[in-house]
Amino acid sequence: MNHRTRLDWMFFWNVLYKMDPWLLTTEKIILKAGLKFIPGAGWAMGCNAFTFLNRNHEKDLKNLEIMLKYYKDSRGIYQILLFPEGTDRGTRAVQISHEFADKHGLPRYHYVLHPRITGFNLILNNMRKNNYINYVYDVTVGYPGRIISSEMELIKKGLMPNSVHFDVKKYEIKDIVEHNDNRVDIDASKWLLDLWKNKEERLRKFYEIQEKGGQPKFEPSGDCYVWPIETMSLGYYVAFLVWILSSIMWIYFTIYISWVKIYVICAVIFYCWADWRHGGVDQWLIEWFYGKPIFHSQ
């Protein structure tokens, strides 16, 4: 997926729900390591075994290999959400992308950032060798109207995008690789670069419609199925009620019931200990799964 804002991956949950609500239980996201140390939300992401990267090339490649092996060994069927651009399209990221393009004789992109090849190749080849991948889904996200770039705009200012548009296209592995021998590493650089070049053009057309006063939308690139914009199913109401009621319940219990206070304090101490001793609850859980230190043996 292209990474237009810091909120893309949260809005994408709605896409998964529309396709199949069970997909929400099997998505693993590759994120920046700092996010897992956020009290509450970060600990939940760690418990869900998301993959966190530190922007240390050697360490990140090793962590990716460990996490991909864990997904396979845990016998779960997961989909992995990767942002090949590495970061959202902020001012500094755009500047770095332009400098990279100028240095390597590439065109400057105005709607996406130039993708990073190494991580994508490693994930693709690792999953191929383990017979753990059948398809790659290309997701393009566009924001007509107001673009909300960060959580702070959402929380402090109460702002939300007018709408969010997604386009999803499925590729079989044979569309990407030139041979069927999974034991041989392949270089999918050209495929990814061509994909991003096409994504830039699609987004240019998307936003040009808006500039001309029209209502921007993607032309479906996959099977041409257009999912309904609004889904007023029972699941939405149930999810809303569960989150509201459970939040109120936990706040009330934490304030007025002693054993819940003790539980919350113990939980906070545990997660802080996991962050300090193991680098996060995610790493502690995986080392417990294998019964030996893995991350800290590097």
- Whole-number pLDDT of residue 186: 86
Residue 169 identity: K
Give this prediction's pTM: 0.90
What is the arithmetic mean of pLDDT over 112-131?
93
Confidence of residue 222 (pLDDT cuts 50, 70, 90): low
What is the arithmetic mean of pLDDT over 2-25?
92
Does residue 62 register a pLDDT over 60?
yes
pLDDT digits (tens, 9 = 90+) for 249-268: 999 999 999 999 999 999 99
Query: Which DSSP symbol is given to 144?
Result: -
pLDDT digits (tens, 9 = 90+) for 142-180: 999 888 888 888 888 888 888 899 999 999 988 888 777
Report how far residue 77's alpha carbon sits from residue 67's, in angstroms, rounded to the nearest whole number: 13
- Whole-number pLDDT of residue 283: 95
Residue 149 to residues 7, 38, 45, 87, 236: CA-CA distances in angstroms?
Answer: 7, 19, 21, 12, 25
Does residue 298 register a pLDDT over 60?
no
What is the arithmetic mean of pLDDT over 11-22?
90
pLDDT digits (tens, 9 = 90+) for 180-195: 777 778 889 999 999 9
What is the arithmetic mean of pLDDT over 87-99?
95
Asked if residues 247 and 14 have their Cβ atoms less than 8 Å apart, the reply is: no
Range with top average pLDDT, 120-129, 144-153, 171-180, 215-224: 120-129
What residue spans define the domains of the chain? 8-26+77-229
Would you call 10 helix, strand, or coil by DSSP?
Answer: helix
Report how far residue 114's alpha carbon sits from residue 111's, in angstroms, rounded to the nearest whole number: 10
- Whole-number pLDDT of residue 182: 76
- Whole-number pLDDT of residue 74: 93
What is the arithmetic mean of pLDDT over 266-275?
96
What is the arithmetic mean of pLDDT over 132-151?
91
DSSP 173-235: GGGT-S---TTS----HHHHHHHHHHHHHHHHHHHHHHHTTS---PPP-SS-----S----HH
The angle that helices 117-129 and 57-73 make with each other, rounded to 10 degrees, is 30
Q: Which residue has the higher pLDDT, 233 or 143?
A: 143
- Whole-number pLDDT of residue 231: 66
The distance from CA 118 to its chain's CA centroid, rounded to whole angstroms, is: 17
